[in-house]
């Protein structure tokens, strides 16, 4: 992914905040950079700091009782890493590639939000969006074949990136295949086989920079048929 043109406060506020609120939000935080693979915070730690993503991709996950890992989200620039209201982190967070973040003291951020209706509104919108994505992932985990799950993931990932950049092809895949497997509840071998099968059908093409989506769209996913089969 290309470097972000704006810091987290600008990306998060978009057009929703007035200049004063945006300036105050910028002054509350500090820019920090995490190298690839670095742990940003761990599950159940006190959430004294709140992190917003300025550039790169992060990985949120839980470690299950049997030791397996469940990836729950891949935050993008403009996203908070988890919900900033909680006093403890519900998930662990790692950097996928070099990642630039904005770090806030949670107490200061919450105090500021209480006097900033536009920021509060944006936080509520963010919370609703996160809930919607969590419900979508639950449906994805419980339904469909491996091919449908992988295809849906690729299309949704492309659509999320489209809100940040106009460069859609190839779609960058900065996360590892194991990350995708842990997100979809599949085995690594299944992800590799499924990507190869989609490539054989000529609906995707894997490249060193990501994946070209030649024949995947929401209509084909809804009908269970690829564009090549329609």
In whole angstroms, what is the distance from residue 3 CA to residue 99 CA?
10
- Give yes or no for residue 39 having a pLDDT over 70: yes
In whole angstroms, what is the distance from residue 216 CA to residue 62 CA?
30
pTM: 0.87
With contact defined as beta carbons under 8 Å apart, do 216 and 203 qualify?
yes
Residue 3 binned pLDDT confidence (cut-offs 50, 70, 90): very low
Domains and CATH numbers, the chain: 8-140 (2.60.120.10), 144-229 (1.10.10.10)
Residue 5 binned pLDDT confidence (cut-offs 50, 70, 90): low
- Region 36-49: mean pLDDT is 96
With contact defined as beta carbons under 8 Å apart, do 25 and 112 qualify?
yes
Residue 227 binned pLDDT confidence (cut-offs 50, 70, 90): very low
Instruction: Considering only residues 85 and 178, tell me which one the structure prediction assigns the higher pLDDT.
Output: 178
Tell me the per-residue pLDDT of 94-131, one tens digit each, with 9 for 90 and over: 999 999 999 999 999 999 999 898 999 999 999 898 88
Mean pLDDT of the chain: 87
Residue with tokens 């469909």: 144
């Amino acid at each position: 992914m290309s470097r972000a043109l704006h810091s987290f406060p600008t990306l998060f506020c978009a057009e929703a905040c007035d200049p004063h609120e945006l300036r105050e939000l910028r002054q509350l935080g500090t820019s920090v950079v995490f190298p690839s693979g670095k742990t940003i915070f761990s599950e159940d730690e006190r959430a004294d700091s709140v992190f917003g993503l300025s550039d790169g991709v992060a990985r949120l996950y839980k470690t299950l009782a049997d030791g397996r890992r469940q990836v729950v989200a891949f935050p993008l620039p403009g996203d908070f890493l988890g919900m900033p209201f909680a006093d403890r982190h519900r998930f662990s967070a790692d950097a996928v590639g070099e990642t630039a973040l904005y770090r806030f003291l949670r107490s200061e951020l919450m105090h500021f939000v209480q006097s900033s209706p536009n920021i509060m509104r944006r936080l509520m919108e963010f919370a609703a969006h996160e809930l919607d994505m969590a419900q979508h992932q639950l449906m994805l985990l419980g339904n469909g074949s491996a091919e449908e799950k992988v295809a849906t993931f690729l299309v949704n990932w492309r659509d999320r990136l489209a809100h940040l950049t106009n460069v859609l092809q190839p779609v960058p895949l900065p996360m590892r295949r194991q990350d995708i497997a842990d997100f979809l509840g599949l085995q690594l071998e299944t992800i590799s086989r499924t990507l190869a099968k989609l490539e054989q059908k000529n609906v995707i093409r894997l490249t060193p920079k990501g994946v070209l989506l030649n024949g995947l769209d929401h209509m084909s996913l809804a009908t269970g048929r690829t564009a090549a089969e329609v």
